Chains A and B, each alone.
Chain A
Amino acid sequence: MAMRNAYIDQFPKEARVIRAILWSSFLALTIGGTLGLIQGLHRTNVLRFIPSQDYYTVLTAHGVLLVITFTIFFLVGIFTWAVTTSLDRGVKDIRFTWGWYAIMMIGTLLVGVSILGGVVDQIPMNADVLYTFYSPFQAHPAFYVGFVLFVVGTWLAGFDWFRTWWAWKKDNPDERIPLPTFMALTTMLFWYLSSIGVAISILAFLLPWSLGIIDSVNPLLTRTLFWFFGHPVVYFWLMPAYMLWYTMLPKLSGGKLFSDPLARVVFVLFLILSTPVGIHHQYLDPGIAEGFKFIAMTNTMFLLLPSLLTAFTVVASMEHGARQRGGKGYLSWLKALPWRDPAFTGMALAGLMFAAGGFSGMINAGLSINYLVHNSWWVVGHFHLTVGTAAALTFMAASYWFIPQLTGKEIWNRSLGLVQVVLWFIGMTFMSNAMHRAGLFGMPRRTAEPQYQGFDFEPAVGTVAEIDAQVALGAALLTLSVYLFITNMVLTTIGGSTSDAIPDNTYAGTLSGPEDAPVIIDNLKLWTSIAVVLVIIAYSLPLASIIDAGGLFGPGIDPWKPSVVADPSLVLESVRGVMP
């Protein structure tokens, strides 16, 4: 009998820590998903069993648990797999790996307990500040400390992967960086660069303010520092999904990655462009001049390029697999793909939804069209396609491949897995299209009761009741899908029996390998330097102008009168604003 060669056989110690990490991720998904259902039913007035005053507590927990805890725990688990597998060596010191995981857990608990304080009277804390924690919303210091600890944990995780790579490089001085490691390292580089923003926002301003050391903060400054980190974080969610699409989907399709060099170019573009775009979340912030917003928009439009490159490369790799499996014709090769495999189908559907999310993202990115959808339910519809499907569905689907690798056990019920991923796709189709449409007629996001007296929304097509019904139905299907997923994972882990039929721990081969990529592509120092320069160009003048206008610690928020006529004194003030 052939020796089994799953991840757990190759790296038993690392498999243990990754299992713990993925379970933390799944727990966050289960709680966060349940809270999503509560919100969906509450907003649409289908079922209201929490007071509307508690809506922000639930919304904060939903956001933080899903977009920070679930996604980032999954990322650090998968990146640890990617680095160790592709370098074919374990981490340098497994205690260090457990160490950063413990720091991330402590951070999560602090954040979680402080948010829970919003609904539990026995906990003397409060952190109803939503995932963006804009001032003047103020959270208990434990929230900020927990957030910082969590981020520091990810920094140490990155260090863990870098030093594993350095050790590998010493032994293999002339080899190209294996693709999965290249992806993990470039992702971490923009993460280091961008999380400096949120670190400054919290450590210099929000935490001292929450502790009473300083009296006030400049809300626009902390917002801008948040989005300095807040847009790159969306790529931080997405990059593990991209890595899985590039390294696993071709293999699951039965083919090879179309182009390794193109995949590297994509990750280099994300490293360069992820950070200098954050201001596109602030198109409606009055304290930032239109010109700076225009720069952010230009960078953002360039950022579409790597995603469009990915669409081509990944689909071409799937087509390669389909044709190797006997697929023929212009489009009938699609039928030759392994649609019964939940890992394949989940990831493919996630990619399909991301194509739709790409369109609504282009709308968000446009400076003038953004005004139409800003702060509306459209935006919520958009990010449920991106982080809520491209990332979340990919992660769940990939788990049908990874959990057997990490436990040595077969999935408890693969057919149920297939039902689960398809259910997610259907649920999200209902929920997300309804949210997008609601946004178009101005229905706001982040609102417990968007039902107003003496005012009715006027949808161009359909009715508000129909849109609400779609959202409630979608939310119910999505939550059911999460429960099916977690049931399958639990029963696989505790109930399943060890199997010798687990496939080898491999990732996709390539049609065009790294030898076809110019060596400069692997020059991480060069790309990081360019990224830093772009960040300086995009952010130095806006930040100087914000500090000049509102002060480093506020509270200089003078009443501002909108004007369409150029008032000479305002012109002078603006000139002073851009030239500190």
Chain B
Amino acid sequence: MSSAIEKGVDGKHPTNETDQVRELDHDEYDPIGTAILVGIYFLILVALWIFMYFVEFLGNGPTVTGVLLTVVGLA
């Protein structure tokens, strides 16, 4: 691997851009906060989709008309 990959606090190229107080390796790290944030985003999307139902289908007349033939491009 290239030497440009950052090595972290105990590596050859420590960076002065971080204030690292501990080293967490792959097995010690549990991204629970990320799971919570992704869950929140998912709930927002669900709420917006429900909102969209009111905007699109109750606020206006139907936009796709016709039966099967229209949908498959035969009419």
Contact = CB atoms under 8 A, between A and B. Distances in A.
Give the interface SS of chain B, mostly helix, strand, loop or mixed. Answer: loop
Contacts of A511: 25-26, 29
B32 A86 contact: no
Contact of B70 (A255, A315, A508, A564): A564
Interface in B13-65: 13, 15-26, 29, 31-34, 36-38, 41, 44-45, 48, 52, 55-56, 59-60, 63-65
A321 to B, nearest CB: 7
Given A88-B2, A371-B63, A372-B56, A574 B75 contact: yes
A551 interface: no
Contacts, number: 160
Contacts of A564: 65-66, 70
A508 B52 contact: no
A564 B62 CA distance: 13
Given A333-B33, A566-B69, A311 B41 contact: yes
Interface residues of B, number: 51
Interface in A279-333: 289-292, 294, 311-312, 315-316, 319-326, 329-331, 333
Nearest to B64: A368
Given A311-B41, A334-B33, A574-B73, A86 B66 contact: no
A254 B21 CA distance: 10
Contact of A503 (B2, B16, B48): B16
B63 A256 contact: no
A256 B56 contact: no
Contacts of A86: 2, 4
A571 B44 CA distance: 43
Contact of B55 (A252, A315, A319, A440): A440
A566 B74 CA distance: 8
Interface string A507-521: 111111110000000
Nearest to B40: A331
Contacts of B26: 511-512
A416 interface: no
B15 A506 contact: yes
A372 B28 CA distance: 48
Contact of B15 (A501, A504, A513, A577): A504
Given A334-B33, A511-B25, A567-B75, A251 B63 contact: no
Contacts of B34: 312, 315-316, 319
B2 A291 contact: no
Interface string A60-93: 0000000000000000000000000111100000
A320 B24 contact: yes
B74 A316 contact: no
A331 B36 CA distance: 8
Contacts of B66: 564, 566
B2 A178 contact: yes
B24 A330 contact: no
19 contacts: A86-B2, A178-B5, A252-B17, A290-B70, A311-B41, A312-B34, A320-B24, A323-B29, A331-B37, A359-B45, A362-B45, A369-B52, A372-B63, A506-B15, A511-B25, A512-B26, A514-B1, A563-B75, A577-B73
Interface of A: 5, 85-88, 175-176, 178, 251-256, 258, 289-292, 294, 311-312, 315-316, 319-326, 329-331, 333-334, 338, 341, 355, 359, 362-363, 367-369, 371-372, 440, 460, 501, 503-514, 563-567, 570-571, 574-575, 577-578
